[in-house]
């Protein structure tokens, strides 16, 4: 909410979820903030519609029949790199979260998120930043915890900086970006940069915990 | 039962079936000594062969990597032993030691035993495993259906059958010849009957034993299956029940929220938590406090936990203080959600309880908030910890609790569980 409320261009959002009730709810809630240009209930529908419509942001359900959000990401992401994905799920299981992020989603929020927060998350993802739910921030802290027995192959990717750790902690504590900036005496843009860096590490790092989560889980 | 050192056949070092190698390993003797002992016993009424066959029939194969085929037998090794056996038998025959009717009958019984051994080992463990997979309801039927093993099965069955039949015919043939010699025939008849009974027992016992052990493993599998089905049914009933209650209370938003949260929590616990969660670890104790607050005040607590620790006095105090902070937020903040974040670091445990509610001015309100003073700040300080409360009217409240951990006691066992 702290960025871009005055931007007149409304974001074009596409919904992918196999629950019609949920799609209708999100559509109604988001109507005031963004333009919902289409929705899909299956992976196949989603893939062809996203390729045709080229929305700014796709709200992607993690769990769907025939492959779930992961299948959509795998099918579309390479051919349409400008389309941003925000994963949306009732599940907070680490494997689901990490799996989607590593497949290329720019963020992850739970379905209990308020409409305003969801709109803000969509905007942030559209601008190329990352969105972490408190729980995702907790997972990342956990996965990147400094354990003596974990080998670090690439310090640039496998370790978090102290600042990134601080930002994640505040995210996990339920702070908004604006509040984090105030708490750490840095700008909101800097907070966003830190979170984006963490996202990159999350996607690229080969830390054991991450690869295990990614490998263990074939999202169904 | 696995602690007991058991006697196995060792098919990796076999010449015939690995009996000698297994015995040698069990008795810590050189394999060659055991083999020679078997061979040396051969001329004594075929005792060596009989013993060997009996061991072969009852000893299980040594457990190895699943599905691994035993090593090929080293055929070159067979020759010296064969030569040795022939030599010993020959010498004993020449010396007249092993002659006579009882000797012949012993040989024939040994032959029957060997045949029986071959047939029993049609049901060796790896094959039984295959049967179980092909026909789980009736594993013993699998042998009829299993194409790949049918040929070797037939060969073994026929071979074993021929041995047994030859042995029996031989005994029947030898027996009447000596029955002519009067009183001796009575004794011979008795001996024959005893041997036949013993043979029968030897034939049947291992089969029964195998059947029982098979039934036992099947029973274990069934119990596991049952347990899972029970849990599934329990959750299923719970969920349906909650959904029905939600439909009934559709008008009452608070009740619906409470029902939904409670159900969500129990499902989450069931899906993502290890079994038998006790309150002996921080995460479980905090989850319990969260659940209590959620249920009592119809409020949602978003809890995030990083790392885990065992509950001792200090951590217990920390949990109690955190609970009090949540209760305060639920009562006074006028919000629907509270955030709870707990992190275990090597030197300290921290818990943060935050709400975005109405907040309050610490300097003016603190005096009549005994909960804050006694239950949070006082409790933490008594146990050597620290509580800090940040609040501003209109800007929510955050309670920050830190408890130093004297020494590293308990880095979590299984690589961190999350909320």
For residue A211, what pLDDT band results from cuts at 50, 70 and 90?
A: low
**Residue of B257, B263, B413, B416 for testing the chain A interface, max A β-carbons within 10 Å:** B416
Contacts of B354 in chain A (CB under 8 A): 173-175
Say yes or no for a CB contact (<8 Å) between B418 and A135. yes
Of the segments A101-105, A166-170, B68-72, which one has the largest average pLDDT value?
A166-170
Contacts of A112 in chain B (CB under 8 A): 300
Altogether, the residues listed in chain A come to a count of 220
Q: Is B304 left (phi over 0), alpha (psi -120 to 50) or beta?
A: beta
**What's the average model confidence in pLDDT over B105-119?**
68
C-alpha span between B357 and B338 (Å, rounded)? 9
Bridge partners (DSSP) of residue A16 are A40, A60
Q: Which member of B307, B354, B418 has the closest CB to residue A94?
A: B418
For tokens 């020449």, the residue is B94
For residue A14, what pLDDT band results from cuts at 50, 70 and 90?
A: very high
- Which residues of A lie inside 8 Å of B (Cβ-Cβ)? 92-94, 112, 134-135, 137-139, 141-142, 145, 147, 169, 172-175, 209
C-alpha span between B418 and B316 (Å, rounded)? 19
Say yes or no for a CB contact (<8 Å) between B300 and A112. yes
**What DSSP character marks residue B108?**
H
Say yes or no for a CB contact (<8 Å) between A137 and B304. yes
Q: Computed over its alpha carbons, how large is the radius of gyration of chain A?
A: 17
Distance (Å) from the alpha carbon of B413 to chain A's nearest alpha carbon: 12
Q: Which member of A112, A145, A172 has the closest CB to residue B416?
A: A145
pLDDT, residue A139, reads: 85
The DSSP string of A167-219 is HHHHHHTT--HHHHHHHHT--HHHHHHHHHHHHHHHHH---HHHHHHHHH---
Distance (Å) from the alpha carbon of A207 to chain B's nearest alpha carbon: 13
pLDDT, residue B382, reads: 83
User: In the numeric block, which tokens belong to residue B80?
Assistant: 């010296």
The answer to whether the beta carbons of residues A102 and A214 sit under 8 Å apart is yes
- Please state whether beta strands A84-89 and A107-110 pair in parallel, antiparallel, or not at all (unpaired): parallel
Distance (Å) from the alpha carbon of B398 to chain A's nearest alpha carbon: 9
Say yes or no for a CB contact (<8 Å) between A134 and B302. yes
Does the model's ipTM exceed the 0.85 cut?
A: no
Contacts of B419 in chain A (CB under 8 A): 92, 135, 138
Which distant-in-sequence residues (6+ apart) come within 8 Å of B56 by Cβ? B9, B16, B17, B19, B117, B121
Residue B14 CB neighbour total at 10 angstroms? 19
User: In the numeric block, which tokens belong to residue B248?
Assistant: 């009934």
Mean pLDDT taken over chain B: 71
Of the segments A19-28, A138-147, B63-72, B194-203, which one has the largest average pLDDT value?
A19-28
- Which residues of B lie inside 8 Å of A (Cβ-Cβ)? 268, 271-272, 300, 302, 304-307, 339, 341, 343, 352, 354, 356, 398, 411, 415-416, 418-419
Say yes or no for a CB contact (<8 Å) between A173 and B268. no
pLDDT, residue B341, reads: 92
C-alpha span between A67 and A69 (Å, rounded)? 7
pLDDT, residue B393, reads: 81
pLDDT digits (tens, 9 = 90+) for B192-210: 667 766 766 666 677 778 7
Q: At residue A39, does pLDDT exceed 80? A: yes
Give the pTM: 0.55
Contacts of A94 in chain B (CB under 8 A): 418
pLDDT digits (tens, 9 = 90+) for A98-117: 888 888 889 888 887 888 88
Where b means 16+ CB within 10 Å and e means fewer, B219-235 reads: eeeeeeeeeeeeeeeee
Say yes or no for a CB contact (<8 Å) between A134 and B418. no
pLDDT, residue B204, reads: 65
Q: Which member of B271, B352, B416 has the closest CB to residue A142?
A: B416
Q: At residue B6, does pLDDT exceed 80? A: no
Q: At residue A185, does pLDDT exceed 90? A: yes
Helix (H) or strand (E) holding B398: strand B397-404
pLDDT, residue A162, reads: 87
Distance (Å) from the alpha carbon of B338 to chain A's nearest alpha carbon: 8
Q: Which residue has the higher pLDDT, A66 or A28?
A: A28
A192-201, B187-196, B278-287: which range is least confident on average?
Answer: B187-196
For residue B66, what pLDDT band results from cuts at 50, 70 and 90?
A: very low
**What's the average model confidence in pLDDT over B11-32?**
77
Minimal Cα distance from A140: which residue of B? B306
pLDDT digits (tens, 9 = 90+) for B313-335: 888 888 888 988 888 888 888 88
Contacts of A135 in chain B (CB under 8 A): 302, 304, 418-419
Q: Which residue has the higher pLDDT, B196 or B385?
A: B385
Say yes or no for a CB contact (<8 Å) between A141 and B343. yes
């Amino acid at each position: 909410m702290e960025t871009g409320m005055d931007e007149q261009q409304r974001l074009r959002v596409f919904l992918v979820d196999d629950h019609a009730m949920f799609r209708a709810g999100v559509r109604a809630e988001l109507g005031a903030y963004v333009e919902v240009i289409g929705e899909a209930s299956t992976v196949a529908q989603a893939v062809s519609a996203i390729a045709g419509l080229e929305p700014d942001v796709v709200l992607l359900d993690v769990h769907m029949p025939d492959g779930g959000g992961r299948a959509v990401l795998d099918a579309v992401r390479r051919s349409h790199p400008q389309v941003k994905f925000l994963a949306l799920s009732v599940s907070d299981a680490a494997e689901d979260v990490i799996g989607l992020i590593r497949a290329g989603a720019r963020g992850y929020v739970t379905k209990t998120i308020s409409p305003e927060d969801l709109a803000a998350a969509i905007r942030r993802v559209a601008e190329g930043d990352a969105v972490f739910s408190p729980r995702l921030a907790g997972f990342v802290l956990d996965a990147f915890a400094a354990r003596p027995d974990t080998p670090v192959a690439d310090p640039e990717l496998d370790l978090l900086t102290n600042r990134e750790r601080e930002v994640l902690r505040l995210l996990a504590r339920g702070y908004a970006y604006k509040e984090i900036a105030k708490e750490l005496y840095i700008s909101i843009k800097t907070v966003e940069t830190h979170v984006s860096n963490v996202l990159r590490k999350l996607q690229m790092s080969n830390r054991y915990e991450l690869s295990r989560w990614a490998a263990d889980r074939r999202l169904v | 039962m696995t602690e007991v050192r058991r006697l196995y056949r060792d098919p990796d070092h076999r010449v015939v079936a690995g009996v000698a190698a297994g015995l040698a390993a069990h008795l810590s003797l050189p394999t060659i000594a055991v083999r020679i002992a078997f061979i040396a016993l051969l001329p004594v009424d075929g005792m060596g062969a009989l013993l060997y066959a009996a061991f072969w029939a009852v000893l299980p194969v040594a457990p190895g990597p699943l599905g691994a085929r035993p090593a090929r037998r080293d055929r070159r090794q067979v020759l010296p032993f064969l030569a040795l056996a022939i030599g010993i038998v020959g010498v004993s025959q020449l010396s007249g030691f092993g002659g006579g009717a009882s000797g012949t009958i012993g040989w024939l019984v040994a032959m029957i035993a060997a045949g029986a051994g071959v047939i029993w080992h049609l049901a060796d463990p790896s094959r039984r495993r295959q049967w179980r997979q092909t026909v789980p309801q009736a594993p013993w039927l699998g042998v009829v259906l299993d194409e790949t093993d049918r040929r070797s099965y037939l060969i073994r069955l026929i071979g074993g059958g021929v041995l047994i039949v030859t042995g029996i015919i031989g005994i029947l043939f030898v027996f009447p010849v000596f029955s002519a010699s009067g009183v001796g025939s009575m004794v011979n008849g008795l001996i024959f009957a005893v041997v036949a009974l013993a043979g029968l027992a030897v034939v049947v016992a291992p089969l029964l034993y195998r059947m029982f052990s098979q039934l036992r493993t099947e029973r274990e599998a069934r119990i596991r299956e049952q347990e899972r089905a029970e849990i599934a049914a329990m959750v299923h009933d719970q969920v349906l029940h909650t959904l029905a209650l939600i439909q009934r209370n559709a008008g009452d938003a608070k009740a619906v929220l409470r029902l939904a949260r409670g159900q969500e929590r129990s499902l989450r616990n069931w899906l993502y938590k290890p079994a038998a969660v006790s309150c002996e670890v921080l995460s479980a104790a905090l989850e319990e406090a969260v659940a209590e607050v959620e249920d009592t005040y119809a409020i949602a607590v978003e809890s995030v936990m990083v790392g885990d620790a065992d509950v001792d006095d200090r951590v217990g105090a920390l949990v109690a203080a955190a609970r009090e902070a949540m209760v305060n937020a639920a009562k006074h903040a006028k919000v629907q959600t509270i955030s709870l974040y707990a992190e275990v670091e090597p030197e300290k445990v921290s818990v943060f309880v935050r709400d975005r509610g109405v907040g309050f001015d610490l300097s003016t309100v603190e005096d009549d908030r005994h909960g804050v003073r006694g239950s949070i700040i006082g409790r933490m300080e008594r146990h050597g910890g620290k509580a800090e409360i940040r609040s501003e009217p209109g800007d929510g409240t955050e309670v920050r609790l830190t408890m130093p951990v004297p020494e590293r006691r308990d880095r979590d066992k299984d690589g961190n569980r999350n909320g």
